Amino acid sequence: MAARSLLLIRGGRVVNDDSSQEADVLVEDGVVRAVGRHLLPPGDAPAGLRVLDAAGKLVLPGGIDTHTHMQFPFMGSRSVDDFHLGTKAALAGGTTMIIDFAIPHKGHSLIEAFDTWRSWADPKVCCDYSLHVAVTWWSDQVKEEMKILTQDKGVNSFKMFMAYKDMYMVRDVELYEAFSRCKEIGAIAQVHAENGDLIAEGAKKMLALGITGPEGHELCRPEAVEAEATLRAITIASAVNCPLYIVHVMSKSAAKVVADARRDGKVVYGEPIAAGLGTDGTHHWDREWLHAAHHVMGPPLRPDPSTPDFLMNLLANDDLTTTGSDNCTFNSCQKALGKDDFTKIPNGVNGVEDRMSIIWEKGVHSGKMDENRFVAVTSTNAAKIFNLYPRKGRIAVGSDADIVIWDPKATRTISAKTHHQAVNFNIFEGMVCHGVPLVTISRGKVVYEAGVFSVSAGDGKFIPRKPFAEYIYKRIKQRDQTCTPTPVKREPYKGEVVTLTSRGTKEDSTHGTRKQAQP
Ligand SMILES: [Zn+2]
């Protein structure tokens, strides 16, 4: 029998989304066993106990990155952060779980895509992970597979693309079908909200004008293209009373659409990402082509420099709910595939390692949000929406010991020279961030400490998720019971009906006047 693994995090300030307390945390065999003062008196330590001193530090639930694309085959390339290096980098940044996307090509099986992604991830992941699955086309087979994925494979979220025309994009009627199915099986619908037709036409126009550089990427998909699709998705989801999750909210106008819909009572959640909160789209106009190209992602970073602050304010005030990174990294030589045509620049930026620090710096250090809201937007809300709570996203008895010891006063400077990601560029280069993860613990094991990893490929686990997450479905179910309109009981019309002919009304009716009903 394996020896008990015991870990005591002593003297820190334990922060959850709803409260903070000075407390020790005792971890046994990967799970939190106790949270309280003076859990073990000095000198009384059982054999095998490891003690971590957290005095003056914060003890936070490990981050959940809701949106990554590790080793993603995309736009003629494959993202360079694979499930091994990508999840290692996540741990270095205080993130202990990622949710990636299995994305089938049109006409291909969703279950095969899911199995393929599992076969890539399982032997490589260093932290726990889960998978969203994309619906890129519609058929009875897709409908059936969504059910199987939900019932047997641990998937409770499906993403639909309103952009990437001819590759992943689905039409409104397919969105309607997919949203309806999500609701039947208790999943949450996710959308990449951009108008794919307008982008395709805009791109043609830019190229015809001779605009081939990275700035063309933003110019052909202005904010309205994102805001329109966001509102359309919310309208369609609302029509079928399906909960909706907007991935990567990148613009002020799209964020406003989400905020307005929430105030209008819609069950919708918006996910800004580290890139959109930490930097902006002015970089697309940088004189150096590569610098500009490294910032290309979809939807684009917005050139309006007030965007990151605006998104952070909405995130702080619960208009936006979770944070991901959309980590999908391509090296310079891969970005150069689009050197003569911006539509061929592989879309994607980094963020999995730096997300927590960016949000601490721009959100907490700036005074926009407190430490509890930080925990809510970096882990707890995601755990609730994707039905991982309270196993993940909370430090409490019985929860997985995914924990970060966080120094809120220390600073670090972000740089591609020192980051742990595979990509050779960092969109946050030179940014000084308060908030440094000192120790990262994944299911009870210290996996990162003082810059040193103690983790192997495959140490992470796939975490299955059950359907009908209470956090989102309680309201949906109640609305179905109480808000379904009932037909009005009224006396049927008993009078004559005028039959229209090709020349107008039938001979027996009077021109221009309606015949009175017979008593
Ligand atoms: Zn994405």
Nearest CA-CA partner of 62 in 283, 391, 325: 391
The Cα 309–Cα 363 span in angstroms is 9
pLDDT bucket at 429, cuts 50 / 70 / 90: very high
**Proportion of the chain above pLDDT 70, given as a percent:** 96
Residue 470 has φ and ψ, to the nearest 5°, of -60, -40
Confirm if 7 and 446 have CB atoms less than 8 A apart.
yes
Predicted local confidence at residue 503, as pLDDT: 72
- Tens digit of each residue's pLDDT (9 = 90 or more) over 287-323: 999 999 999 999 999 999 999 999 999 999 999 999 9
CA of 174 to the centre of ligand 1 (A): 20
Separation of 429 CA from ligand 1 center, angstroms?
A: 21
- d(CA 475, ligand 1 centre) in Å: 28
- How do residues 103-161 score in pLDDT, each as one tens digit? 999 999 999 999 999 999 999 999 999 999 999 999 999 999 999 999 999 999 999 99
pLDDT at 515 over 80: no
State mean pLDDT over 86-102: 98
Q: Which residues of 279-291 are buried (b: 16+ CB within 10 A; e: fewer)?
A: bbbebbebeebeb
How remote is the CA of residue 507 from the centroid of ligand 1, in Å? 64
pLDDT value at position 289?
98
pLDDT at 508 over 90: no
How far is Cα 294 from Cα 305, in angstroms, rounded to an integer? Answer: 18
Residue 299 Cα to ligand 1 middle (Å): 9
Distance 225 CA to ligand 1 centre (A): 17
CA distance 500 to 241: 39
* d(CA 15, ligand 1 centre) in Å: 29
Name the token pair of 111.
């279950």
Distance (Å) from CA 414 to ligand 1 centroid? 22
Contact 376, 320 (CB under 8 A): no
CA distance linking residue 247 with residue 68, whole number of Å? 11
Give this prediction's pTM: 0.94
368 C-alpha vs ligand 1 centroid, how far in Å? Answer: 26
User: Rounded to the nearest whole angstrom, what is the distance from the C-alpha of residue 206 to the centroid of ligand 1?
Assistant: 24
Q: Using an 8 Å Cβ cutoff, are 66 and 99 in contact?
A: yes
Mean pLDDT calculated for residue range 9-22: 98
Q: What is the DSSP letter of 59?
A: E
- Confidence grade of residue 512 (pLDDT, cut at 50, 70, 90): very low
Gap from CA of 328 to ligand 1 centroid (Å): 7
pLDDT in tens, 218-256: 999 999 999 999 999 999 999 999 999 999 999 999 999
pLDDT-derived band at 502, boundaries 50, 70, 90: confident
What is the band of 463 on the pLDDT scale with cuts at 50, 70, 90? Answer: very high
Distance in Å, CA 69 to ligand 1 centroid: 6
* 206 touches 197 (CB < 8 A): no
Q: Quote the distance between the C-alpha of residue 335 and its chain's center.
A: 24
Residue 507 pLDDT: 52
How far is ligand 1, taken at its centre, from the CA of residue 73, in Å?
A: 12
How many angstroms does the Cα of residue 22 sit away from the middle of ligand 1?
Answer: 38
Sole residue written with tokens 């003076």: 38
**Distance of CA 3 from the midpoint of ligand 1 (Å):** 41
The pLDDT tens digits for 37-68 are 999 877 767 888 999 999 999 999 999 999 99
Calculate how far, in angstroms, residue 504's C-alpha sits from the geometric centre of ligand 1.
Answer: 56
Find where tokens 């740089």 sit: 415
Can you state the angle between helices 140-152 and 172-185, rounded to 10 degrees? 30
- Residue 46 CA to its chain's centroid (Å): 42
Rounded to whole angstroms, the Cα distance separating 209 from 202 reads 11
Residues paired with 270 in a beta bridge: 246
Question: Which is more confident, 486 or 186?
Answer: 186
Residue 406's DSSP bridge partners are 58, 437
Q: pLDDT tens digit string along 138-151?
A: 999 999 999 999 99
- Kindly state the tokens that stand for 354: 């730096």
Helix (H) or strand (E) holding 238, with range, is helix 223-239
Give the distance from CA 287 to its chain's centroid.
32
pLDDT above 90: percentage of residues in the chain:
92
Q: 439 forms bridges with which residues in the sheet? A: 405, 449
Q: Report CA(51)–ligand 1 centroid distance (Å).
A: 39
**Packed helices 172-185 and 223-239: angle between N→C axes, nearest 10 degrees:** 50
- Residue 505's pLDDT is what? 59
Sign of CA dihedral 288, 290, 291, 295: positive
For β-strands 188-192 and 157-161, DSSP reports them as parallel
Angstrom distance (rounded) from CA 332 to CA 231: 35
- Centre of ligand 1 to C-alpha 323, Å, is 12
Confidence at residue 2, expressed as pLDDT on a 0 to 100 scale: 56
CA of 67 relative to ligand 1 center, distance in Å: 6
Whether residue 517 is predicted with pLDDT greater than 60 in this model: the reply is: no
Distance 513 CA to ligand 1 centre (A): 61
What's the CA-to-centroid distance between 319 and ligand 1, angstroms?
21
Task: Give the Cα separation of 365 and 434 in Å (integer).
Answer: 7
What is the rounded average pLDDT of the residues 475-501?
Answer: 89
Question: Angle 185-191-195 (CA atoms, 0-180°, nearest 5)?
Answer: 140
Tell me, in angstroms, the distance from the centre of ligand 1 to residue 183's CA: 22
User: Can you tell me the mean pLDDT for 343-372?
Assistant: 98
pLDDT tens for 373-423 read 999 999 999 999 999 999 999 999 999 999 999 999 999 999 999 999 999
When the pLDDT of each residue in the chain is averaged and rounded to a whole number, the result is: 95
